[in-house]
Structure 1
């Protein structure tokens, strides 16, 4: 519901909202420019002093007006000839023509009414209302994506367009809400829907009929500073009954021209004061810096429109066809996916169930709401795992939504986890779902199961069990769609490890050329960094194998470290490559294993091929942040990977310290042993804010965690606490 409220007003009112934002952004520059170009009144100058100076050089003076920027403008009528000018308040002399800026006037007409009068004003008000709906629904969607309002600025994952959309929205949201609300207020004021008009003071005393009192002797003008002046109207020459009219921030007065007596006085009402503040907030007149800030935030709208359209188009491409309405579906399939592959399995499941006569609705887990599924007889949850047991992108907030339910849904559920058994947190998120569901008392339709590495066989086996539970003959024949890949050409290879029976190579591939659109949107190989994953599609298999990148796009090449495993299809093919030969590959972002952008020290711990991304972090350390690398390998003459580069990076200041742990030789020891030998120094560094990043095999990572548990206990820290603070990251295989 929230997503629809955000999508359709945005698409329907896109042109109006863009016109409002772009014209408003352009207009925000003029108050600041006017402020800089306008002579300001001397400190302490009164309206009486200003009026006397201007009147002395302008016969037939009719009005003096002060803009919120401080610009003073005078109008006069001399011998039948009208005149106007911008005034220097210090001298009363003319400094510029009072004619309005033509560009500003044109932009104002466009912004307010599209040059269409009242109909145009109403159209632009509709655009402001659409912007308000977009901002409100967008804020709710950001909170949903980040896991709650308290995590408003939490790190984001997912495609570049989606991340950029949310990042800009989080910064621009307050300004867009303020601009929309003030625009609607000003429209209501224009059409007389608010009681905020200026109430002219009624005369309580008749004019004296006298004339000629010097302006500097009029007490009301002497007591009013120029900085609070709005306008001063002069009496008609030759009419002794006419009066001065003064409007200031304090109120409005009628002043006798012969005695200086105040004949009537009124203070601005609460509505009038509120409208003045609203106008200042919306236009920036009187608050030029705020106007410029709001103008910058308005410039976010075109970017949000472009990225929002990309997200919408991407969603249409990936949506499941023939989706039955949520309120009428008997089977609800909830999908938790990070890279998109789980949606393909959901589509196959939905298509097969529909062929069996079932009504099916497919939706992301993040939008889970049993109230929307009044006729649901069962929920089928297909959930991938992100990182170390986290929720994938389309399942963020699911566990919180489940926990907030007063009672479990009446319809039972079946759970299928997707993962890779080579990773320690295999299907850990689906395990968390099952535990939460059992705690809530949610009945299970059949025991939970898993799919390893997108296995069609695992999926078909679960489908047969599901069919038996439903009394339907289900045959799930799913063919995973291989991701779009590029051909990478091997430039060079450096071989290691033959002496210790562990053939390993550092493979460097040419960076594929990226088109203009890819560079603008960050797709493909246009934007990546060390720690991201390179998916290799080996010949004879549709299931990719992933390797951590040891380079970033700025390095101008794609580099990975590969060890040959017995029977390993991808590693065998990679280590058989010669320079000039190609391999099919694609990128997958891995933001959970990127160094933070601050200057806090890094402690990098790795063994064997785990040096790959760590070497990439050091290579990219142009800011010379403190980095301590602890690297374990078997023998310095066989598999000391990046030996020469590490020495060079130390000389350049990119690497502060290198500690090695050699597991074979006269004094064999491992990285966890090296950590214990430096326990005091490491504990002190971590207590002062250093971050830890670990890459390598799961046994090594487990040993590192145990060692750090001992090392950090005296300073009141632990790996678990550091993980909760975002200061401990692992890439384990």
Structure 2
């Protein structure tokens, strides 16, 4: 009987590197079986092979890829591998050349950009003259993304192509995962590990001692017990409060939302995010039913069993961007630019609609309604058994009808009346307040980007942390868009907030943004960095975060009297020291 391989849990008091080493040691030790002394003199007997080394390389912006890397390591260990989980920030092409078996798990954010921890390796392997990788390096890539973005899974695609171009051997085709990644990830992991096992048999002419594998062996594991609440079983959290934070005349609608976690067993830390399972807008569902010519009572098959079509369209299926399969069924081009399923139905001919209607009992041409991720704006040390969000409601008109953000307007309009919303916690260990309570902290969070910094400040207040705190906040108008103004003013009065710089872009003729305020205070900001400050930014990745990063480089170059190259090296050192954190989307 094969021995059970122990695995050091994430909660154990070890660093990630220490856990990886210990897990590898246990795998190697426990995957060997004692020699049968009666067979020592038998030349035909075979000694079980040592556990196969495996490197799991991850790039993550919000923690999903890192979490999947840990799940992959657990599965790989049970299959006779010695896994090492490697942060891309700690890897270089030269380092990779020494590895034989590599699984790459990486997300993409913004407009096809690599995660912050993957940026240096990404640039290195894509650079002209990048060092070659040996053919003995066997690899496969799992790319994470969101098909609502044009550059879907671009980072993973780029790594896959670069590794092959540099000479490494692809042993399993890359999988490009949408937001509902469980099944494609499990299938990819099964194929990759099975192929690696066969490669080991072929290259070492030895037997690999592992149990027979099947898809069920590779199901995505979670840290939750079957009976516990988590990603596999979201908690129906009572909705306590939905409060508009904007004043009269604002062009925006930002809501403060509070949930109760009492009885859930869910825990979180400042810097984490909350996943919310939304419901589709009833008006949109009614429009889809009308376009299909259905009454909504038709029985359809879903992951939650058989449901009436109206209920399924409300709670189970994504009515946003149509899938390629749906476009094909509706005889529309794959390049169709319709924004949602209702647009596609309106664009289709009657015959195509009838064809689709005939297949409605099993609507696998629709994507599963995925959870939406929001930065948590509370600290559990300040609000026991509660979790708060700061959510901007998305509303606009297009093509002659109003459009709504799926989850933001669910929370704004219907969650409080519904009484509960299904949620689970998404850990983001790369985005935390300084572990040193005396370290200074600089936070740049315009608009809803204020959310995690409200949590950070609550944390520091609750723990009486002595470090100085500096907040940059911006929005359109001070009179109507200064989110949490009263609380910020109170923190200034008590001394928790040592400095606040605001940028209200439309209160004067010339627009002013947070990066402009940073430059104005450049000399002091540089001194805070030299004093050991941690620098954080949260918000829009496409414009704001890039502009803030550019301003940071300029401030370091100007006030630190450095060249552009030296300023870049300084910023990279901040990142390596975990003193530059970004929660961007």
TM-score (norm 2): 0.54
Measure, in 2, the Cα distance between the counterparts of 1:529 and 1:424.
32
The aligned residue for residue 673 of structure 1 is: 516
The answer to whether the Cα contact below 8 Å between 2:473 and 2:503 also exists between their aligned partners in 1 is yes
The aligned residue for residue 451 of structure 1 is: 177
- Within 5 Å, give how 1:344-359 maps onto structure 2: none
- CA gap of 1:438–1:169, structure 2 versus 1, over 3 A, is closer
- Within 5 Å, give how 1:194-343 maps onto structure 2: 338-340=66-68
The aligned residue for residue 29 of structure 1 is: none
Q: How many aligned positions are there?
A: 380
The aligned residue for residue 234 of structure 1 is: none
Superposed CA deviations along residues 486-524 of structure 1, whole A, max 9, x for unmatched, are 12212222213474433210112223235xxx5xxxxx2
2:496 counterpart SS class: coil
Are residues 1:164 and 2:12 paired?
yes
- CA gap of 1:503–1:626, structure 2 versus 1, over 3 A, is same
Measure, in 2, the Cα distance between the counterparts of 1:639 and 1:367.
43
- CA gap of 1:432–1:534, structure 2 versus 1, over 3 A, is same
Superposed CA deviations along residues 578-635 of structure 1, whole A, max 9, x for unmatched, are 2782111111221211111221211110111110011111122222421110001111
The aligned residue for residue 546 of structure 1 is: 373
2:488 counterpart SS class: helix
- CA gap of 1:676–1:335, structure 2 versus 1, over 3 A, is closer
Shift of 1:167: 5.5
The aligned residue for residue 389 of structure 2 is: 560
Measure, in 2, the Cα distance between the counterparts of 1:724 and 1:413.
26
The answer to whether the Cα contact below 8 Å between 2:237 and 2:422 also exists between their aligned partners in 1 is yes
- CA gap of 1:437–1:362, structure 2 versus 1, over 3 A, is farther
Measure, in 2, the Cα distance between the counterparts of 1:168 and 1:413.
22
Measure, in 1, the Cα distance between the counterparts of 2:263 and 2:409.
27
Are residues 1:442 and 2:442 paired?
no
The answer to whether the Cα contact below 8 Å between 2:186 and 2:220 also exists between their aligned partners in 1 is no
Measure, in 1, the Cα distance between the counterparts of 2:513 and 2:17.
47
* Consecutive unaligned residues in structure 1, runs of 5 or more: 12-140, 142-158, 174-303, 313-324, 351-359, 369-377, 392-402, 467-475, 519-523
The aligned residue for residue 533 of structure 1 is: 273
Shift of 1:646: 0.4
Of structures 1 and 2, the one with the larger relative CO (CA 8 A, separation 6+) is 2
Counterpart among 478, 485, 493 of residue 234 in structure 2:
485
Measure, in 1, the Cα distance between the counterparts of 2:18 and 2:158.
30
Superposed CA deviations along residues 390-427 of structure 1, whole A, max 9, x for unmatched, are 47xxxxxxxxxxx99994328x6543312346899975
The answer to whether the Cα contact below 8 Å between 2:275 and 2:425 also exists between their aligned partners in 1 is yes
Shift of 1:433: 4.7
The aligned residue for residue 555 of structure 2 is: 711
- CA gap of 1:583–1:655, structure 2 versus 1, over 3 A, is same
- CA gap of 1:419–1:379, structure 2 versus 1, over 3 A, is farther
The aligned residue for residue 508 of structure 1 is: 258
- CA gap of 1:339–1:407, structure 2 versus 1, over 3 A, is closer
The aligned residue for residue 544 of structure 2 is: 700
Shift of 1:335: 9.0
Shift of 1:558: 0.8
Larger relative helix fraction: 1
Measure, in 1, the Cα distance between the counterparts of 2:166 and 2:69.
29
Measure, in 2, the Cα distance between the counterparts of 1:545 and 1:513.
22
The answer to whether the Cα contact below 8 Å between 2:434 and 2:441 also exists between their aligned partners in 1 is no
The aligned residue for residue 573 of structure 1 is: 410
Report which of the two structures shows the higher radius of gyration computed on alpha carbons: 1
2:551 counterpart SS class: helix
Shift of 1:662: 0.5
The answer to whether the Cα contact below 8 Å between 1:493 and 1:505 also exists between their aligned partners in 2 is yes
- CA gap of 1:665–1:406, structure 2 versus 1, over 3 A, is closer
- CA gap of 1:553–1:694, structure 2 versus 1, over 3 A, is same
1:454 counterpart SS class: coil
The answer to whether the Cα contact below 8 Å between 1:334 and 1:362 also exists between their aligned partners in 2 is no
- Within 5 Å, give how 1:379-394 maps onto structure 2: 381=103, 383-385=105-107, 388-390=115-117
Superposed CA deviations along residues 97-131 of structure 1, whole A, max 9, x for unmatched, are xxxxxxxxxxxxxxxxxxxxxxxxxxxxxxxxxxx
* Consecutive unaligned residues in structure 2, runs of 5 or more: 28-46, 59-64, 87-99, 109-113, 119-129, 193-214, 222-230, 279-314, 317-367, 396-403
The answer to whether the Cα contact below 8 Å between 1:537 and 1:543 also exists between their aligned partners in 2 is yes
The aligned residue for residue 584 of structure 2 is: 732
Measure, in 2, the Cα distance between the counterparts of 1:612 and 1:532.
11
- CA gap of 1:708–1:379, structure 2 versus 1, over 3 A, is closer
Measure, in 1, the Cα distance between the counterparts of 2:260 and 2:513.
34
Superposed CA deviations along residues 300-352 of structure 1, whole A, max 9, x for unmatched, are xxxx9xxx9xx99xxxxxxxxxxxx99799xx9979653349969x99xx9xx
The answer to whether the Cα contact below 8 Å between 1:635 and 1:662 also exists between their aligned partners in 2 is yes
Measure, in 2, the Cα distance between the counterparts of 1:676 and 1:447.
47
Alpha-carbon RMSD across the aligned residues, in angstroms, is 5.0
- CA gap of 1:361–1:447, structure 2 versus 1, over 3 A, is same
The aligned residue for residue 611 of structure 1 is: 450
- CA gap of 1:513–1:361, structure 2 versus 1, over 3 A, is closer
- CA gap of 1:168–1:531, structure 2 versus 1, over 3 A, is closer
Shift of 1:696: 0.6
The aligned residue for residue 420 of structure 2 is: 582
The answer to whether the Cα contact below 8 Å between 1:593 and 1:730 also exists between their aligned partners in 2 is yes
1:584 counterpart SS class: strand
TM-score (norm 1): 0.44
Farther-moved stretch of structure 1 (454-463 vs 560-569)? 454-463
Measure, in 1, the Cα distance between the counterparts of 2:16 and 2:188.
42
The aligned residue for residue 434 of structure 2 is: 596
- CA gap of 1:708–1:333, structure 2 versus 1, over 3 A, is closer
The answer to whether the Cα contact below 8 Å between 2:492 and 2:498 also exists between their aligned partners in 1 is yes
Superposed CA deviations along residues 122-149 of structure 1, whole A, max 9, x for unmatched, are xxxxxxxxxxxxxxxxxxx9xxxxxxxx
